[in-house]
Homo-oligomer: A and B are copies of this chain.
Amino acid sequence: MLKQEIDTPAVLVNLEQLEANIRGMQKRMNELGVNLRPHIKAHKVPEIARMQLDAGAVGITVAKLGEAEVFAENGVNDIFVAYEIVGARKLQRLLELARKVQISVGVDSIEVAQPLSEAFASAGMRCEVIIEVETGLGRCGVLPGEELLELAFQVDKLPGLKLEGIFTHEALHHLRSPEEVKKVAEGVGHVMVGAAEMLRKEGFEAEVVSVGATPARTYTCVKGVTENRPGTYVFNDRAQIGLGAATSDQCALTVLATVISRPALDRAIIDCGRKILTSDRDWFLEDFGEVVGRPDLVLERLQEEHGFIRLKEPGPDPKVGDLLEVVPNHTCVVMNQVDRVYVLKGDKVEGTWTVAARGKSR
């Protein structure tokens, strides 16, 4: 089948660009001597995780247990759940998973660590935990000084837990330039290395010093950082382009759409809206996607199943029935909308992949 024969809207993956993105990131990590543990929230596709592992990744990162379960079922046996696991049901699921594969999880409070300890200790098992450190995002995590030290001592005393180190997710999307991204990412790297040193002085091993965010490129990976967990680099998107982490050519995911209406010379409507592209839009983006090869078209508004395109130069082209390809603002949420993606080499459809962990937000 050829691209032109695919029913729309459809998510397309450019296989060669995907492979190049995976190889490129692995090569940079190898050069730096930093382990790559890619975050699969960006794709949710076991076949892509397999490509990442084959290229040299040490394991994968997930946000949710449900994602971990899907990837474990699909043969991935080293998984870091970069999330605080809370609640009796989830602890039971985590125990079951830990019996099958190598699992580590995030903690950022004694309230999270205590029940985790009880669950694993009473099962006669040990859970590897990595303390989440807050480095500017304002999300989860302890501050890298006294708060971190206090939690490390608390966790160390709990049975059933093994403290492996620390992790953070760099806050970069609010920054105003690639230069700012570089500066902040390097700063986060140094903070993490310093925090690990502090732990080691108190007798902790702090084997893992983990960072991760695609816009950071390799900047966070200063000497002493042991692991990087980027996600979006497999596809790239307009947010990454805007933050200086990718070029349009490096985008491996597009959405194929059909023009269904030309109600006016300056307006075209496509069959793809928020239920594929979502409303995600970083502060530096004014529209909802880049129409490939058509700088004259602006995807300026979305409704649930409609995309509104403004023609900078009013005219009859594109026509009803024409196909357009859109680079999304944020691929991670796009992948969570669809059950299947088309894998292409050039215009030829090589096959489809199931987005096996779609919707696994638990």
Contacts and interface: CB of A to CB of B under 8 A. Distances in A.
B41 A305 contact: yes
Given A138-B267, A140-B261, A305-B63, A111 B321 contact: yes
A134 interface: yes
A278 B278 contact: yes
Interface in A283-311: 301, 303-306, 308
A321 B87 CA distance: 6
Contact of A8 (B5, B87, B267, B338): B87
Contacts of A158: none
A109 B362 contact: no
B112 A261 contact: yes
Interface string A303-331: 11110100000000001110000000000
Interface in A111-159: 111-112, 134, 138-142
A84 B306 CA distance: 11
Contacts of A84: 260-261, 320
Given A139-B269, A361-B276, A108 B337 contact: no
Given A260-B83, A361-B272, A63 B304 contact: yes
Contact of A306 (B140, B269, B274, B338): B140
A53 interface: no
Contacts of A339: 359
A22 B189 CA distance: 55
A84 B258 CA distance: 11
Contacts of A90: 7
Contacts of A272: 361
A164 interface: no
Contacts of A281: 279
Chain A interface bracket (under 10, 10 to 19, 20 to 34, 35 or more): 35 or more
A333 interface: yes
Given A7-B90, A140-B260, A140-B263, 9 more contacts: A41-B305, A86-B321, A87-B321, A109-B262, A138-B301, A141-B263, A274-B280, A304-B333, A337-B361
A238 interface: no
A275 interface: yes
A215 interface: no
A64 interface: yes
Nearest to A110: B320
Interface string A53-75: 00000000001100000000000
Nearest to A306: B139
16 contacts: A7-B87, A63-B305, A87-B321, A111-B262, A112-B260, A139-B306, A140-B260, A141-B263, A274-B333, A275-B336, A275-B361, A278-B279, A279-B281, A279-B333, A337-B337, A337-B359
Contacts of A138: 263, 267, 301, 308
